[in-house]
Homo-oligomer: A and B are copies of this chain.
Amino acid sequence: MVYQEEWKGPFLSSPSFSQCEATKKLAELALSPPNLREVVSEERMVSLSAYGAGILLLFGFQRVDSQILDTLQKLADERQAVAQMKALFTGEKVNWIEGCESEERAVLHPSLRDLFDVPVSPVRPVRQEVEAELHKIRTFFTEKVSGFTTLLFIGIGGSELGPHALVEALEPYHLPGKEIHYIANVDPDEMTSVLSKIDLKKTLVAVVSKSGTTLETATNEARIRDAFEKSAINSKEHCIAVTMPGTPMDDQTKYKEVFHLFDFVGGRFSSSSVVGAVPVAFMVGVNSFFEMLDGASEMDRLALRGDIRDNLPLLLALLSVWNRNFLSLPTTAVIPYAKSLHRFPAHLQQCSMESNGKSVDRTGQKVSYPTGQIVWGEPGTNAQHSFFQLLHQGTDVVPVEFIGFKESQYPEDFSYKGTTSNEKLTANLLAQALALATGKDSENPNRYFEGNRPSTLILAKKLDAHTLGALLSLYENKIAFEGFLWGINSFDQEGVQLGKVLAESLLRAIEKRKEGKEDITAPAVGRRLLDLVDDLAVGRAVLPESKSHHVT
């Protein structure tokens, strides 16, 4: 079959996920996968490992063997996963669904960091645009922020979770005398709380919205501008915008500076764009942001390799697909053993679930197999004292991705009872993975651990900007590879539209009611729900007479 656009070949000419030879073979192999209690050994842990861009990936605690790994490689080959990735890297319009109205856009977040000596992509698309914005970033944060001690970062979803996770991850390297607050939610208490803590005179506000029209962000921008005006401060001198060219926010007359992101970078993949650059540059310095890009770029390079042992993102994606589609495990826990990564799982949750929570394939057909899994997690060791009970002894099996580091970020550590805190952290990480895999017999059935529960260890020397960039790229590319394997479009988010439309409709109904009118174009059930909420204002629900509705 010849495609009008040749680059679509890897997407459309491959057998679908369910029709791949490898898929059928993997389904057979999944009937009797290795039991970790029997196979885990020192040799296995060393041999089932991969290393690149400073990241060591140990997958000996996954329920795979060489035959399964070979078949996963075959799956990647049949699905032309790397060729699909190459199409992405070179700027093809991979955000599309054949035969449906769709976004038809390129997906070029890797180009955001393809700035270094050895280019990732054989062609370097959009390098000029990217470099121009980074130049503006460097100039602005070198020359124009001297009076500002506080950054108020207003954005939501992709415009908040990634940047927030990154800035927190680099906390030990924050510049002295700088602080940051985030406003994402339209909840008025979030803004009220922050306003009580900051000095507007020293506050720079970054308003971040790709579309320039996000309801929450527009509302919060209006409120902060109102606060500035009430304090007789010219808000223009305190506000910068991060948005696409041509949006309502792309207006130099309203902002001290406008930084551009582009339609070829999705919100959830925008951490290495100006969206991430603004808060990282303010809080950690521009150079750290470039180090982060360098780490990401180094990992990006690996994402184009054919051998899954050389391609860490593809390997991680295949292990994930193995657990999801063949061992039928519907969730993945991400557990960073690093306090500063406490928002990293929430970022990955978004990046993964918004990308791959899809039910139609590249041709608009409903898929016949599970796609994006539920991603969740909290830092360890904290989580050991929380939900790890279920991970060890629950009726469901949860594959875990442990993230850990040999060294702490700050130079300080503390020795207590013969070991340092960081040694305790590492020992706990390793012990948990080992316990999940190998279990423990007991005559007391309540103290029996069945083991055979899979995990991957993602380890690095130290969490610095470079490593953080590599980690970010590892996951961004993993998520894209999962989509390539499943044959879905990971780059749109039509699923968020319906809720938006209904919310707008209910808001119009609320507005009308204030005028004493009823907006019958809003859904009747929704208006009834508004009544029920209103009834709460009088202290208890006004519900039909029934003994069950009232507390005596």
A175 within 8 A of B: no
A496 within 8 A of B: yes
> With A and B bound together, what is the CA distance between A407 and B538 in angstroms?
11
Q: Which of B192, B446, B510 contacts A102 (CB 8 A)?
A: B446
A233 within 8 A of B: no
Q: Which of B372, B388, B406, B457 contacts A495 (CB 8 A)?
A: B388
> B45 to A430, Cβ gap below 8 A?
no
A156 within 8 A of B: yes
Q: Which of B191, B382, B492 contacts A157 (CB 8 A)?
A: B382
Q: Which of B41, B408, B461 contacts A187 (CB 8 A)?
A: B408
Binary B-proximity of A338-353 (CB < 8 A = 1, otherwise 0): 1110000010011001
A223 within 8 A of B: yes
> B414 to A191, Cβ gap below 8 A?
yes
Which chain B residues lie closer than 8 Å to A500 at the CB level? 384, 431
A259 within 8 A of B: no
> A338 to B523, Cβ gap below 8 A?
no
With A189-B339, A446-B102, A543-B51 known as contacts, the answer to whether A460 contacts B536 (CB < 8 A) is yes
> A54 to B540, Cβ gap below 8 A?
yes
Which chain B residues lie closer than 8 Å to A350 at the CB level? 385-387
Count residues of A near B (Cβ-Cβ below 8 Å): 180
> With A and B bound together, what is the CA distance between A444 and B418 in angstroms?
64
A477 within 8 A of B: no
> With A and B bound together, what is the CA distance between A334 and B530 in angstroms?
21
> B46 to A548, Cβ gap below 8 A?
no
A435 within 8 A of B: yes
Which chain B residues lie closer than 8 Å to A41 at the CB level? 525
A389 within 8 A of B: yes
Which chain B residues lie closer than 8 Å to A459 at the CB level? 532-533, 536
**10 pairs, CB–CB < 8 Å, chain A vs chain B:** A45-B525, A45-B532, A49-B541, A158-B385, A188-B412, A359-B450, A371-B394, A404-B533, A427-B507, A435-B498
With A46-B532, A56-B532, A495-B449 known as contacts, the answer to whether A371 contacts B354 (CB < 8 A) is no
With A219-B421, A395-B370 known as contacts, the answer to whether A353 contacts B386 (CB < 8 A) is yes
> B414 to A223, Cβ gap below 8 A?
yes
When C-beta atoms are compared, the residue in chain B nearest to A157 turns out to be: B385
Which chain B residues lie closer than 8 Å to A391 at the CB level? 357, 495
> A548 to B50, Cβ gap below 8 A?
yes
> B387 to A353, Cβ gap below 8 A?
yes
Binary B-proximity of A243-267 (CB < 8 A = 1, otherwise 0): 0000000000000000000000001
> B507 to A389, Cβ gap below 8 A?
no
With A193-B172, A496-B385 known as contacts, the answer to whether A394 contacts B357 (CB < 8 A) is yes
Minimum C-beta distance from A397 to chain B (A): 10
Residues 405-455 (chain A) with a chain B CB within 8 angstroms: 406-410, 412-414, 416-428, 430-435, 438-440, 444-450
Which chain B residues lie closer than 8 Å to A507 at the CB level? 418-419, 423-424, 427
A53 within 8 A of B: yes
> A187 to B371, Cβ gap below 8 A?
no
Which chain B residues lie closer than 8 Å to A237 at the CB level? none
When C-beta atoms are compared, the residue in chain B nearest to A505 turns out to be: B431
